[in-house]
Amino acid sequence: MAGWCVALASFLFEYDTPRIVLIRSRKVGLMNRAVQLLILAYVIGWVFVWEKGYQETDSVVSSVTTKAKGVTVTNTSTLGFRVWDVADYVIPAQEENSLFVMTNMIITKNQSQGFCPELPDKTTMCNSDANCVAGSSGTHSSGNRRPLRTWVPLAPAGIATGRCVPFNETVKTCEVAAWCPVENDTRVPEPAFLKAAENFTLLVKNNIWYPKFNFSKRNILPNITTTYLKSCIYDAVTDPFCPIFRLGKIVESAGHSFQDMAIEGGIMGIQIKWNCNLDRTASLCLPRYSFRRLDTRDVDHNVSPGYNFRFAKYYSDPTGAEHRTLIKAYGIRFDIIVFGKAGKFDIIPTMINVGSGLALLGVATVLCDVIVLYCMKKRNYYREKKYKYVEDYEQGLGSEMDQ
Cα–Cα distances (Å) from 304 to 118, 292, 299, 308, 396, in that order, read 22, 20, 12, 10, 89
Has residue 152 got a pLDDT over 50? no
Q: pLDDT band at 140, cuts 50/70/90?
A: very low
Q: Return the pLDDT at 301.
A: 60
- The residue type of 349 is P
| pLDDT score recorded for residue 401 | 53
pLDDT digits (tens, 9 = 90+) for 56-69: 999 999 999 999 99
Both 86 and 127 in one domain: the answer is: no
Please tell me the least confidently modeled range out of 2-11, 115-124, 183-192, 340-349.
2-11
In the prediction, which pLDDT does 395 show?
A: 56
The residue segments making up the domain with residue 98 are 57-111+191-345
- Residue 259: inside a domain: yes
Query: 98 and 228: one domain?
Result: yes
The tens digit of pLDDT for each residue in 249-293 reads: 999 999 999 999 999 999 999 999 999 999 999 999 999 999 999
48 and 195 both lie in a single domain: no
Q: Residue 380 — pLDDT band, cuts 50, 70, 90?
A: confident
Of all residues in the chain, the percent with pLDDT exceeding 90 is: 55
Mean pLDDT, residues 301-314 taken together = 85
What does the pLDDT read at residue 14? 75
pLDDT of residue 145: 39
In a domain, 140, yes or no: yes
Residue 147, pLDDT > 60, answer no
**What are the residues whose beta carbons fall under 8 Å from the beta carbon of 214, sequence distance 6 or more?**
none
One domain for residues 203 and 259:
yes
Together in a domain, 195 and 285? yes
pLDDT tens digits along 387-401: 777 676 555 545 555
Of 181, 202, 222, the last residue of a domain is 181
Identify whether the C-beta of residue 133 lies closer than 8 Å to the C-beta of residue 145: yes
Q: What is the pTM of this model?
A: 0.79
Residue 263 placed within a domain: yes
The span from the CA of 393 to the CA of 91, in Å, is: 90
Q: What was the pLDDT predicted at 268?
A: 96
d(CA 39, CA 44): 9
Secondary structure in 3-state letters for the chain: CHHHHHHHHHHHHCCCCCCCCCCCCHHHHHHHHHHHHHHHHHHHHHHHHHCCCCEEEEECEEEEEEEEECCEEEEECCCEEEEECHHHHECCCCCCCEEEEEEEEEEEEEEEEEEEECCCCCCCECCCHHHCCCCCCCCCCCCCCCCCCCCCCCCCCEEEEEEEEECCCCCEEEEEEEEECCCCCCCCCCCCCCHHHHHCEEEEEEEEEECCCCEEEECCCCCCCHHHHHHCCCECCCECCCCEEEHHHHHHHCCCCHHHHHHHCEEEEEEEEEEEECCCCHHHCCCEEEEEECCCCCCCCCCCCCCEEEEEEEEECCCCCEEEEEEEEEEEEEEEEEEEEEEEECHHHHHHHHHHHHHHHHHHHHHHHHHHHHCCCCHHHHHHHHCCCCCCHHHHHHHHHHC
Instruction: Choose between 8 and 197: higher pLDDT.
Output: 197
Instruction: Indicate whether 144 pLDDT > 60.
Output: no
pLDDT-derived band at 185 (thresholds 50, 70, 90) equals confident
Instruction: Please check the confidence at residue 16 and state whether its pLDDT lies above 80.
Output: no
Residue 238 has pLDDT above 90, yes or no: yes
pLDDT at residue 139, rounded to an integer? 43
Say if 5 falls within a structural domain: no
Which CATH number is 387's domain given?
1.10.287.940
> Of the candidates 194, 238, 221, which has an alpha carbon nearest to the alpha carbon of residue 91?
194
What pLDDT is recorded for position 116? 92
**Domain end (from 345, 369, 389):** 345
Please state, in angstroms and rounded to a whole number, the distance separating the CA atoms of residues 166 and 117. 7
- Please tell me whether residues 308 and 354 are part of one structural domain: no
Which whole number is the average pLDDT over 303-313? Answer: 88
Q: Which residue has the higher pLDDT, 372 or 112?
A: 112
What pLDDT, on the 0 to 100 scale, is given for residue 143? 39
Same domain? 339 vs 269: yes
* Of the listed ranges 81-90, 156-165, 234-243, the one predicted with least confidence: 156-165
Task: For 50, list phi and psi in degrees, rounded to 5.
Answer: -80, -50
Burial of 57 (0-12, 13-18, 19+ CB in 10 A): middle
The number of distinct structural domains making up the chain is 3
Query: What per-residue confidence (pLDDT) applies to 241?
Result: 95
Mean pLDDT of 110-125: 89
Average pLDDT across the chain, whole number: 85
Query: What pLDDT, on a 0 to 100 scale, did the predictor assign at position 148?
Result: 37
What's the rounded Cα separation, in Å, for the pair 291 and 336?
10
Q: Is residue 4 part of a domain?
A: no
Q: What is the pLDDT of residue 22?
A: 77
pLDDT at position 63 is: 94
Q: Are residues 162 and 226 in the same domain?
A: no
